Structure 1
Amino acid sequence: MSERVVISGGTVVTMDGGRSEYADGYVVVEDGRVSSVGSGPAPHVEGARVVDARGCVVTPGLVNTHHHLYQWVTRGLAVDATLFEWLTTLYPVWGCIDEESVSAAATAGLGWLAKTGCTTSMDHHYVFPADGGDLLAAEIEGARAVGLRFMPTRGSMDLGRSQGGLPPDHVVEEIDTILAATTDAVDRFHDASPDSMLRIGVAPCSPFSVTDTLLKEAAVLARDKGVRLHTHLAETMDEDAFCRERFGCGPVDYMESLGWLGSDVWFGHGIHLDDAAIASMAATGTGVAHCPSSNARLGAGIARVRDLRDAGVPVGLGVDGAASNEANSLLEEARHALLFARARGGPQALSVRDALEVATIGGARVLGWDDQIGSLEPGKQADVAVWRLDTLPHVDIVDPVAGLVLGDRPPLELLLVGGRPVVDRGVLVNVDEDALAHRSAAASRALLTRAGVTR
């Protein structure tokens, strides 16, 4: 059951339509939703837990729009490689994943995401070994255990190396198998209700690992089922060259030719986009999951976030797989988004509030969930983060939003998802952090042993 909670006395940053902020504000939570938010003394609510938020900033929970949770147990490999080098090193390892490794990775990864302020995460799972078990169900159970709102996507690869793709043949699937499994995933798990904690998406992996036939069929399937479409796109210049050589056009033009632009579509990364591609995406409402840390870790480049936002492209933040972003911190992505945008375009390229917007309501819009999450408004889901800014690293930073985005990661006083505590005074409520660490370490050792990798 959701508690009644009154959060009072903090700086409340709502991310509502008017971007309202209250220096001495309150948020009232009842029946899993925000019932009121405003300035001054909080109203009395009978039987409510009262949270003294003096010295804190209260924000919507952060929304993660691109991730690969299974990679949590393969961190620290190929750390100086390009994307294609990194993939070719790790594909054979990922070809050995099973239910236990995915369950351990997803639960640990989502637990850590929660501790960095994340209340909603998607996941792009696209490796399904024939003998791996029910991998999507394993990560869904991990999200339920931690208590996060979740949008896993049934990913896929059907273009193996023998057909000119990047992945080895043994980690790809037949198209009929993919479409049947994707249909089953939507039918089993997707919940479109307003109180949903679980939605499913359709997500073929990338232009260099998927045939055009699969992309076309996946789009038809997703639209028939009323769910969203996702893939990697425009992440590296290698990918751009691959598309131009193989398809005679750039990545966005290629996807448009297959019916893959629209308000129900978002692309992971979107780094190497020219003006025409950005215009096409803006005109169709196609979104981008910006992954600044992973992009930098792999040397892929810096996305044109200012240009994307100015054009009207929906932009959210993504941690990306933990094997290309070992920090796995969504709040750090907001900071890196700001810093990299300014490194590219100067100090006006992204403000601290822009960065928080992309991390909250921007991400909710990318996932098509902004009617329910992403801002603190009456009637919306009570996904709330309360951050302490009265400790040594932050206490004298004048602007609390600057303290949150530009400062070190502050202590997380409270994290609510649908009004239920997931983190309380920095501690995971529903799962044991030490147990998660031990289990994920064991799963990593077992996986690397199966794959013949020496630690």
Structure 2
Amino acid sequence: MSAMGDILIKDGFIATMDRDRTVYKSGDMYIDDGKIVSIGKDVEAPRSPEYTMDARNKVVIPGFVNVHTHLQQYFRGVYELIGDFYKVNLPLEGYRRPEDMEWLGLASCAEFIHGGSTTAMLIYTYPDGFAKAVEEAGNRMIIGADIEEVDLNRLKEGVYEYLPEKGEAAYKRAVDLHRNWHGKGLITTIMAPKAADLAVTETYLRCKEYAEEHGLNVTTHLSQSWREVQQVERLYGKTPPQH
């Protein structure tokens, strides 16, 4: 039995999202050990459930899946109103410390659950603390260590200065994340070079090779700004998708 015990949800509008798109206008759901055991009309639990939820006038649906998010950017909506992505958003990333991630992560996970999402793929520079928060909150997450290798303060000035040592440290965080957290609880990991203007070709190839070796996927940002498109065209003579 899970820490929450077994749960009986009663009299809810249940949209199962099964192959037949079955809907119960007033149905019950029994959950045991974190798994849905039965759904239908007048479901009987095998024993008196630890929790019974009255779902009248409520909708019961599978949790939403967010396929790309940055939950740790808890104040992103605020500072996106302040200014440009490259002048405000990215430079602020450099001021967050690894130890900040756990409490930012817990706040974000709570907001995530409140919004009805139970699964997400997220990437960030310092994911270890966030993984601790995810483990505590109980979300199902695919987590990647953000790999970028430019000086964010110079980028604010419109200058791309690539720092190999920064890229190497970011790649090491990605490998450590996989070794320490992949398969732990509901966490899986992914390789995440940030964007074609923020990580060089060699880094993308290293991520690809590591992912293939360990059965992981790779995610990246693609054509997220005109500045990215222009920089990639300057470097490689191609658009980001072509590159």
Q: Could you state the TM-score of these two structures normalised by the residue count of structure 2?
A: 0.85
Consecutive unaligned residues in structure 1, runs of 5 or more: 127-134, 255-455
Instruction: Say how many residue pairs are matched.
Output: 238
CA positional deviation for 1:138:
1.1
Per the alignment, residue 265 of structure 1 pairs with none
- Judge conservation of contact 2:70–2:124 (CA < 8 Å) in 1: yes
Per the alignment, residue 177 of structure 1 pairs with 169
Per the alignment, residue 32 of structure 1 pairs with 34
Report whether the alignment pairs 1:249 with 2:241. no
Cα separation, 2, equivalents of 1:172 and 1:12: 52
Map Cα deviations across residues 80-126 of structure 1 (whole Å, 9 max, x no partner). Answer: 54xxx322223332212113322222111111111111212332103
- Structure 2 matches for 1:28-67, cutoff 5 A? 28-38=30-40, 40-48=41-49, 49-67=51-69
Cα separation, 1, equivalents of 2:88 and 2:164: 16
Secondary structure, counterpart of 1:207 in structure 2: coil
- Judge conservation of contact 2:135–2:187 (CA < 8 Å) in 1: no
RMSD between aligned alpha carbons? 2.8
- Structure 2 matches for 1:431-442, cutoff 5 A? none
- Structure 2 matches for 1:73-92, cutoff 5 A? 73=75, 75-79=77-81, 81=83, 85-92=84-91
Alignment-mate amino acid for residue 42 of structure 1: V
Which one of 182, 191, 215 corresponds to residue 202 of structure 1?
Answer: 191
Secondary structure, counterpart of 2:121 in structure 1: strand
Consecutive unaligned residues in structure 2, runs of 5 or more: none
- Judge conservation of contact 2:150–2:162 (CA < 8 Å) in 1: no
CA positional deviation for 1:240:
3.4
Secondary structure, counterpart of 1:69 in structure 2: coil
- Judge conservation of contact 2:150–2:166 (CA < 8 Å) in 1: no
Secondary structure, counterpart of 1:183 in structure 2: helix
- Judge conservation of contact 1:95–1:171 (CA < 8 Å) in 2: no
Larger RCO (CA within 8 A; separation ≥ 6): 1
- Judge conservation of contact 2:101–2:130 (CA < 8 Å) in 1: yes
- Structure 2 matches for 1:259-298, cutoff 5 A? none
Alignment-mate amino acid for residue 109 of structure 1: S
Which one of 14, 25, 38 corresponds to residue 23 of structure 1?
Answer: 25
Q: Could you say if the C-alpha distance between residues 79 and 4 of structure 1 is closer, same or farther in structure 2, counting changes exceeding 3 Å?
A: same
Cα separation, 2, equivalents of 1:187 and 1:67: 22
Structure (1 or 2) with the greater strand fraction:
2
CA positional deviation for 1:26:
2.1
- Structure 2 matches for 1:332-411, cutoff 5 A? none
- Judge conservation of contact 1:222–1:228 (CA < 8 Å) in 2: yes
Per the alignment, residue 96 of structure 1 pairs with 95
Cα separation, 1, equivalents of 2:134 and 2:85: 27
Alignment-mate amino acid for residue 202 of structure 2: T
CA positional deviation for 1:169:
5.0
- Judge conservation of contact 1:160–1:172 (CA < 8 Å) in 2: no
Cα separation, 1, equivalents of 2:158 and 2:178: 27
CA positional deviation for 1:75:
5.0
